[in-house]
Amino acid sequence: MLVLDLMTPEPVTVTPETGIKEALTTLADLGITSMPVVDHHQRLCGIVSEADLIRDLVARDPRAQERPVIVEPLFPPETVEDVYTRSADMIAADIDELLGSLGHADWFVEVENGVVAVAGPSGSAERSLAVVVARTVPGVVEVRVD
């Protein structure tokens, strides 16, 4: 079986400016759980899922250990741009910014398909810090520290 056999040739898309309610309605109407986010030139920016769109509507599980550092937004999300899974460059920039704010601007961050590679931390405490910080960024699926 090939990807061609499973893919949707002309998928329904949204832009970063699409409202949360509109995106949820589109997903529900089509019976799908995620869709591409494209810019005004139809270039892929990322993917928005049902889980991304309802994340702030569901109470957090206090037992969850996957994301121990929780950064609460000042304002609730209103558009797809506020919640969709970010591109690798944006994820890397967010992690770089967070690490820099903690005094670790010299660490090197690469992201591919949501997998983050951090080079530079030495010692178990620094490696743990890199993992915890990287996992707070939306779109991160795995963290590797070299």
Comparison of pLDDT for 45 and 65, the residue scoring more: 45
Comparison of pLDDT for 4 and 21, the residue scoring more: 21
pTM: 0.53
pLDDT band at 79 (very low <50, low <70, confident <90, very high): confident
CATH superfamily of 3-82: CBS-domain (3.10.580.10)
Taking Cα atoms as reference points, which of 44, 55, 50 lies closest to residue 87?
A: 44
User: What pLDDT is stored for residue 27 in this prediction?
Assistant: 94
Q: Are 105 and 96 in contact (CB under 8 A)?
A: yes
- At 68 the three-state DSSP class reads coil
Domain boundaries, the chain: 3-82, 88-145
Q: Lowest mean pLDDT of 31-40, 47-56, 76-85, 113-122, name the range.
A: 76-85
From residue 24, how far is each of 9, 53, 60 by CA, in Å?
21, 7, 20
Considering the domain 88-145, what is its CATH architecture?
2-Layer Sandwich (3.30)
